[in-house]
Amino acid sequence: MSLSGENDKVRRFEKHILVYLDDLYRVALRLTGQATDAEDLVQETCLRAFKALDQLKHLPAAKVWVFSILRSVFLREAERRPSRRALISLEDIDASLLTRSEALRDAYEGFLPMRQTLLQETREAILKLPLPYREAVLLAHIGGFSYREMAQILSVPTGTVMSRLFRGRRMLRAYLGERPSRLESAR
């Protein structure tokens, strides 16, 4: 490949794939439960996406395509290390929710410990979900994908996605002890 062709590939990669880097990391973190594993998963995903970028013919489908790669890489890694399962530590709580300086200015800073506890419990509950349900919940609520897009990523019919999402939410409610209305209205 010529230098200009390589530069064009880098520009297309930056424009159509790297824009989803934060979303990829958030989903990877929830799938793996560990910041370092999530970083490795995203790095491997980006490497594979860059190598295969010429296979992406329909650029509006880039988000679905790269999340399909993320899932594939995750499943391959999970097969290699099936017994490894860890919970997210308090240090891994998503810093994008509130930075320290914002917390100091926040009028509701007294609620932060309670909020962090709820976030931690929710993340632990998500990690308890069987993988098919965890994937559906993460793709819907973190990735923001439609049922059709999730069906493409997961390689299952749309009805299966809807069923997994319904059951995954119900399991989360059971783990968290919440009423149905809160999680159902989140979608």
Domain at 135, CATH number: 1.10.10.10
What is the total count of domains within the chain?
2
Q: What is the reported pTM?
A: 0.62
61-85 pLDDT, tens digit each: 899 999 999 999 999 988 887 554 4
Of 101, 9, 94, which Cα lies nearest the Cα of 49? 9
Looking at the domain assignment, is residue 153 inside a domain?
Answer: yes
Is a pLDDT exceeding 90 seen at residue 180?
A: no
28-51 pLDDT, tens digit each: 998 888 899 999 999 999 999 999
Looking at the domain assignment, is residue 115 inside a domain?
Answer: yes
Q: What is the CATH number of the domain that holds 6?
A: 1.10.1740.10
Q: Are residues 47 and 119 in the same domain?
A: no
Q: Are residues 115 and 66 in the same domain?
A: no
- Measured CA to CA, the distance from residue 101 to residue 105 in angstroms comes to 7
Q: Residue 172: enclosing H or E segment and its boundaries?
A: helix 158-176
Q: Which domain holds residue 182?
A: 111-187
